[in-house]
Amino acid sequence: MSHASSWEQVLDYSNRANPYPFYAELRRSPVTRLPDGTYLVSTYAEIASLLHDPRVSSEISRNPATAAAGVSAEEGDGADMTPTFLSMDPPDHDKFRRMTMRHFGPPTTPGRIAGLEPRMEEIVTELIDKMAGRSRIDVVDELAYPLPVTVICELLGVPPSDRQRFRVWVDIALQSIDPGLDPETQQKKRAEAGAELRAFMEELVESHRKSPGDDMLSAMATDDSPEGSLPAEQLVGTGLLLLIAGHETTVNLIANGALTLLRHPQELQRLRNDPDLAIPMVEELLRYEPPVHFVPFRTALDDIDIGGTTIPAGASFTLLLAAANRDPAHVTDPDLFIPDRPNNGHLGFGGGIHLCFGAPLARLEAQIALTGFASRIENPRLVDDPPPYRPSPFLRGPSHLLVEIDDISG
């Protein structure tokens, strides 16, 4: 099979449950040039190197692939919004990331995420309590989705009444970053959903500025530190980035995690007996079934010689994180799920200057959710294997995960 057709197979929805054999094909050459002139990078060493290479840009406006596909700079972040630090290069990236990070974690706000742990435990307990007396549950709708959404909304200060409103908009707006979609057909719907999301966040930022609470949006909107507040449009864009990036991916980590445990009952039992196993297990899940399969929209600022190929200046490329995570040159027995294997650096959270900002939050949520799942659900059995998947090959995870259970304990 040619490399271009292996990539088509990855994008093809019928392979969503198991794209890994196609990634193995792609890894036979570290860098592949596709017929449209863009490139794929599929091996660990090459991806790790490019993630740290200053000749690589994340700016959407530089990217010929997005321009040709009719994706505007605004849409590149996944919703109709001004580019945020996710799609900026230094120095703006570093400045806006620092101004946002200040309200999220160390060194300025060290307690914010760790302080959420008891609340996460409480939410997971409540969600599992609600499953009492049932013989069938949907792990996506009843655990994997509600936990991260509730947590990110409470962290940012999104009122409970607003939480149902944005789910539909987010689903539509996110389609803009999926490769292989016809740009014409969905464009109008995406633009409308993006505009709704933006209006929603503008209102929220405004109300938090006027009457600030003890949440992250309020802190961002009223920042009086020497560097000051983010510019108004950055505040709205960053609020949306955190809201969307802050739950979409974590839903998939929890759902992929529960699925993997159901397929490895011995590991499920081990976690039930030893909750500390959750820490290495979540790292292994980020390697073995990562929620983010690739990062598209990178552009070479100069000719880059890599993996025996030259990616020419101006060309755009995609980094296949999920392929790198199973590269046998980097990890032994890559297709086996071994929760306590030595962690020699997965790329589940990317790397380099764009390394996931929310990793500590996502890790904690997944550890708590999966420990609750393993310790309290009695005799869980997968109903459909494979389960149905969400459309995206990029943010990949089950749409539903039906499980038969005997009961819940404790």
* Site residues for ligand HEM per CB under 6 A: 58, 85-86, 97, 241-242, 245-246, 249-250, 253, 290-292, 295, 348-350, 354, 356-358, 361-362
Tell me if the bond preceding 291 is cis, omega within 30° of 0.
no
Place of tokens 């392929």: 323
Q: Nearer to ligand HEM by C-beta: 58 or 234?
A: 58
Using alpha carbons, list the distances in angstroms from residue 203 to 79, 99, 128, 295.
16, 21, 34, 31
Q: Nearer to ligand HEM by C-beta: 245 or 268?
A: 245
Q: Nearer to ligand HEM by C-beta: 169 or 294?
A: 294
Q: Identify the CA nearest to 369 among candidates 323, 401, 333, 340.
A: 401
Q: Nearer to ligand HEM by C-beta: 349 or 408?
A: 349
Q: Identify the CA nearest to 356 among candidates 136, 21, 6, 113.
A: 113
End-to-end CA distance of the chain, in Å? 52
Residue least distant from ligand HEM (Cβ)? 358
Instruction: Give least dist CB 15 to ligand HEM, A.
Output: 20
| 236 Cβ contact partners less than 8 Å away, ≥ 6 residues apart | 81, 82, 198, 201, 202, 205
Quote the CA–CA distance of 145 and 155 in Å, as a whole number: 16
Instruction: Give least dist CB 409 to ligand HEM, A.
Output: 27
Instruction: Give least dist CB 212 to ligand HEM, A.
Output: 20
Instruction: Give least dist CB 404 to ligand HEM, A.
Output: 27
Quote the CA–CA distance of 28 and 173 in Å, as a whole number: 34
Place of tokens 């057709």: 5
Q: Nearer to ligand HEM by C-beta: 198 or 363?
A: 363
Instruction: Give least dist CB 58 to ligand HEM, A.
Output: 6
Answer for the pair 364, 113: CB distance below 8 angstroms, yes or no: yes
Instruction: Give least dist CB 316 to ligand HEM, A.
Output: 13
- SS3 of 6-68: the string is HHHHHHCHHHCCCCHHHHHHHHCCCEEECCCCCEEECCHHHHHHHHCCCCEECCHHHCHHHHH
Q: Identify the CA nearest to 351 among candidates 112, 44, 106.
A: 44
| 389 Cβ contact partners less than 8 Å away, ≥ 6 residues apart | 13, 16, 17, 396, 397, 398, 399
CB atoms within 10 A of CB 221: 23
Instruction: Give least dist CB 384 to ligand HEM, A.
Output: 23
* 385, two tokens: 């294997």
Q: Nearer to ligand HEM by C-beta: 103 or 190?
A: 103
Instruction: Give least dist CB 343 to ligand HEM, A.
Output: 15
Q: Nearer to ligand HEM by C-beta: 3 or 396?
A: 396
Q: Nearer to ligand HEM by C-beta: 284 or 408?
A: 284
CB atoms within 10 A of CB 85: 27
3-state SS, residue 338: coil
Instruction: Give least dist CB 30 to ligand HEM, A.
Output: 18
Instruction: Give least dist CB 236 to ligand HEM, A.
Output: 14
Q: Identify the CA nearest to 238 among candidates 331, 369, 358.
A: 358
Q: Nearer to ligand HEM by C-beta: 113 or 408?
A: 113
Q: Nearer to ligand HEM by C-beta: 147 or 356?
A: 356
